Amino acid sequence: DVLYNASTLADEPWLLTRDEEGIPMLALIFLVFGFIVMSIAAVFTLVLAVRYDGEIDQRPMGPIYYYIMFFVASISALVYYSMWSETSVVRIKEDGQTHILFPARYLDWAITSPLMLIALSLLGDAPLPAIVGIVGCDMLNVSCLFFGAFYGYEHKFFWWVTGLIFFAVLLFMLFQELSKASELGRVSEYDANTLRWLTYIFAACWAVFPVVWLVGQTGTSTTSFNVEMAFEVLADVVVKLSFILILIVRLPADGASQYSIKRDMNDIPDYGSATKSGGWRGNLTSSTFV
């Protein structure tokens, strides 16, 4: 369904028809769905961030998660709107077929996935070198997929394989930090369980994108544009809503008791790369919560 043939419009169901630009209506519906969901999520997280007072969410780094997810949801909503309104659409002809590509999708990945990885790293108290390595591999992965889609027509599978290698390294480092967070006692057991669930969800949903890239318009074109959009939108919405619901809704509500006891600085072990925990935080200089 990558070719626009006006003569067949009358014989197709409405959901499979195409607009004037040749984009299927069903794909546009998925994009509108993504825009609406992410817009609501952006407003929701902004309200929570503005109303934050530390009474319910008493984590030392609590406010950062709210703003990170607000930026993630806002960027995604704007990207979905640009895709739905066809503000930036690229059509590439290859082997007699016209492939429809959205550059904004890669902009979304290049910004929102590092933000979510930073949130995971903060939750797991990962050291700064690990954060740089994880985010760097993620950005290299997205860059390879972008170049393969738009500039590497004859070498696109080289870019895809290279991006897949960076993604594999990213997952290795991510699960390594997950293991260290639990074994070295960098975080509480409650936070470790939350970190584990978020890591699994991120890995599963983000693994959808290189697969869809391979079988979709950018790769072999063995699947329809509607199926490609459906998997991309659903995976994107699921991972981002999961982060919002678990990281800034469930965790503060269910885990408030984990942070409710004020302790003196003498009772709190130092944080930092010089300690056995290897955490990224500097030494705390005022009373905090644990």
The answer to whether position 271 is within a domain reads: no
Q: Which two tokens stand for residue 205?
A: 């949903």
The answer to whether position 136 is within a domain reads: yes
Are the C-beta atoms of residues 278 and 186 closer than 8 Å to each other?
yes
The sign one gets for the Cα dihedral 81, 70, 229, 218 is positive
The answer to whether position 85 is within a domain reads: yes
Average pLDDT, consecutive stretches of 10 residues, N- to C-terminus, the chain (290 residues): 44 56 83 97 92 66 86 97 88 78 94 96 91 97 94 86 97 93 81 90 96 91 91 97 89 55 40 43 39
The answer to whether position 280 is within a domain reads: no
pLDDT of residue 271: 36
Q: How far apart are CA 88 and CA 102, in angstroms?
A: 6
pLDDT of residue 56: 60
Distance of CA 224 to the CA centre of its chain: 24
Q: Which two tokens stand for residue 252?
A: 């503060």
Q: Is 22 left (phi over 0), alpha (psi -120 to 50) or beta?
A: left
**pTM for the whole structure:** 0.81
Domains identified in the chain, total number: 1
The answer to whether position 275 is within a domain reads: no
pLDDT of residue 213: 95
The answer to whether position 44 is within a domain reads: yes
CATH of the domain at 121: 1.20.1070.10
Q: Which domain holds residue 61?
A: 6-258
Are the C-beta atoms of residues 41 and 238 closer than 8 Å to each other?
no
Q: Which stretches of the chain are DSSP H helices? A: 25-50, 62-84, 103-123, 128-150, 156-183, 189-206, 208-215, 225-245, 251-254
In angstroms, what CA-CA distances link 34 with 82, 85, 169, 195, 200?
11, 13, 29, 25, 22
Are the C-beta atoms of residues 113 and 81 closer than 8 Å to each other?
no
